Amino acid sequence: MKTFRNISIITFLLSLFIGVNLNAQAAPKTTTIKITTSAECDMCKKRIESEVGKMKGVKKSELDLTTKVITVEYNPKKTSPEKIRKAISEIGYDADAVKANNRASKTLPHCAPTQDSVPH
């Protein structure tokens, strides 16, 4: 009887471990989003990548100046596309349909377009 009880406990623990392990593999830890910005130059690129990269849950951010699209890899349990767009807006750049914060856009480097200027 004692052997049967030990086997039952071991079987239970193994099934519990396997179930937890399978569940952990099923849920992705990160996801990726692409956001169109109003970035113009390398200074804009550095500023956006740096600030987005500091966000909680962001694993990686890379802005392609040719397309003006930033690709952000993030943990969806810690941040969201809306928070990322809002952060880009608060820096002073458009982020998809979210317009740049007017006050922040006025403090951008001269190469960056503001709502009162024309891009070069």
Task: Go through the domains of the chain in sequence order and give each one's CATH number.
Answer: 31-105 (3.30.70.100)
User: What pLDDT sits at residue 89?
Assistant: 97
pLDDT grade, residue 120 (50/70/90)?
very low
Position with higher pLDDT, 5 vs 44: 44
User: Ramachandran region of residue 91, left (φ > 0), alpha (ψ -120 to 50) or beta?
Assistant: alpha
DSSP for 94-116? -BTTBPPPHHHHTTS-TTS--TT
User: What pLDDT sits at residue 101?
Assistant: 95
Beta bridge partners of 72: 33, 61
User: What pLDDT sits at residue 48?
Assistant: 97
Distance between CA 52 and CA 18 in Å, rounded? 37
User: What pLDDT sits at residue 67?
Assistant: 97
> Does residue 116 surpass a pLDDT of 50?
no
Q: How many of the other CB atoms lie within 10 Å of CB of 12?
A: 10
The C-alpha torsion from 53 through 55 and 56 to 57, rounded to 10°, is -50
The answer to whether the pTM exceeds 0.85 is no
pLDDT in tens, 71-107: 999 999 999 999 999 999 999 999 999 999 999 998 8
Helix, strand, coil abundance in the chain, percent, nearest 5 = 45, 20, 40
User: What pLDDT sits at residue 107?
Assistant: 87
